[in-house]
């Protein structure tokens, strides 16, 4: 069996962590990229993977910074020889009415969610593209159900950053299809991660949010990870340029504040 390498950004917790665990169980060598302040958490995930017999490393880096992105990809390639799969999961959530949005917070969100994700795809393509001597591969960009209707109240800027990723992915997938690279997005809805900890301390809010989802419940990171790993696999060999929702049927915001 050929061993493949999967690089996952934002992998110290939440969807990224669940994807790392599942990828390792499927035989991938795993590179966990995370913010420097989350490196200990990332190393804990690595230890868990190694105990299960997988090869894994944790790399500190900020996806909002060009040098850090290049460092993450170079370190992964140097350690494992190549990169076969990339999951661009790192993201920043920004909740603010547009009239009171802070410019620095906005710029940081765009740097991570949009510019950083696109530049990660640039790095991945340079390694994977058959035109560059690579073997091809698969990329999954983590978008959001917010992109489908503009987000919940106060999340229009965040939704815009994710909508831009959807559009970019459509074009990028066409550009690199002949180079052996498939590119898709997954769109999680409200999922039990670090971005939604407020729900765990506010039962009434959690109840209202769950009621706004057609399936009537908040998603789990493991459920999103299953879709990501499927898209990375040969089972999805004909799937590229797709945007797949994994959010319980979408959401409505009537009565939400």
5-246: in CATH 3.90.226.10: no
Domain boundaries in the chain? 5-246
* pLDDT one-digit tens code per residue, 149-178: 887 777 899 999 999 999 999 999 999 999
Closest CA to 18 of 148, 193, 141, 170: 193
Pick from 193, 192, 187: nearest CA to 13: 193
Distance of CA 187 to CAs 58, 129, 164, 182, Å? 25, 25, 13, 17
The pLDDT confidence band at residue 257, using thresholds 50, 70 and 90, is very low
Percent of the chain with pLDDT over 90: 76
Check residues 190 and 78 and name the one with the higher pLDDT: 78
Q: Quote the pTM value.
A: 0.93
DSSP the chain: ----EEEEES-SSHHHHHHHHHHHHTT-EEEEEE-GGGHHHHHHHHHHHHHTT--EEEEE--TTSHHHHHHHHHHHHHHHS---EEEE---------GGG--HHHHHHHHIIIIIIHHHHHHHHHHHH-GGGT---EEEEEE--THHHHT-STT-HHHHHHHHHHHHHHHHHHHHHGGGTEEEEEEEE-SBSSGGGHHHHH-HHHHHHHHHTSTTSS-B-HHHHHHHHHHHHSGGGTT--S-EEEESSS----TT--
Alpha-carbon distance 238 to 231, whole Å? 10
Query: Which residues are 56's β-sheet partners?
Result: 30
Q: Among this protein's residues, is 67 annotated catalytic?
A: no
* pLDDT-derived band at 219, boundaries 50, 70, 90: confident
Q: Tell me the pLDDT band of 253, cut-offs 50, 70 and 90.
A: low
Q: Which of 12-26, 51-65, 193-207, 212-226 has the lowest mean pLDDT?
A: 193-207
137-142 vs 85-88, strand pairing mode? parallel
pLDDT for 53 beyond 80: yes
The one catalytic residue among 67, 103, 119, 158: 158
pLDDT digits (tens, 9 = 90+) for 58-67: 999 999 999 9
- Position 189 pLDDT exceeds 90: no
- Paired with 58 in beta bridges are 32
- Banded pLDDT at 210 (limits 50, 70, 90): confident
Q: How many CA atoms lie within 13 A of 136 on its CB side?
A: 12
Cα–Cα distance for residue pair 229/12, rounded to 1 Å: 17
93-131, pLDDT tens digit by residue? 988 888 899 999 999 999 999 999 999 999 999 999 999
| Mean predicted lDDT score pLDDT of the chain | 92
């Amino acid at each position: 069996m050929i061993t493949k390498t999967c690089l996952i950004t934002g992998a110290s917790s939440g969807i990224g962590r669940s994807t790392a665990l599942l990828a390792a169980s499927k035989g991938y060598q795993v590179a966990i990229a995370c913010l420097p302040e989350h490196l200990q958490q990332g190393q804990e995930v690595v230890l868990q993977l190694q105990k299960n017999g997988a090869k894994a490393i944790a790399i500190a880096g900020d996806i909002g910074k060009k040098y850090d992105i290049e460092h993450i990809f170079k370190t992964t390639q140097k350690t494992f020889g190549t990169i076969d799969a990339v999951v661009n999961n790192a993201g920043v959530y920004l909740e603010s009415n547009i009239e009171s949005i802070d410019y620095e917070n906005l710029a940081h969100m765009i740097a991570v969610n949009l510019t950083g994700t696109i530049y990660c795809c640039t790095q991945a393509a340079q390694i994977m593209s058959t035109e560059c001597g690579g073997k091809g591969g698969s990329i999954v960009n983590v978008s959001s159900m917010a992109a489908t209707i503009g987000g919940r109240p106060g999340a229009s800027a965040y939704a815009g950053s994710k909508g831009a990723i959807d559009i970019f992915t459509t074009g990028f997938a066409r550009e690199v299809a002949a180079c052996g690279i498939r590119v898709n997005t997954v769109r999680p809805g409200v999922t039990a991660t670090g971005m939604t900890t407020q729900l765990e301390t506010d039962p009434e809010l959690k109840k209202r949010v769950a009621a706004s989802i057609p399936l009537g419940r908040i998603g789990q990171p493991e459920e999103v990870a299953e879709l990501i790993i499927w898209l990375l696999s040969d089972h999805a060999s004909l799937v590229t340029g797709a945007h797949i929702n994994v959010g319980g049927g979408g959401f409505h915001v009537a009565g939400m504040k």
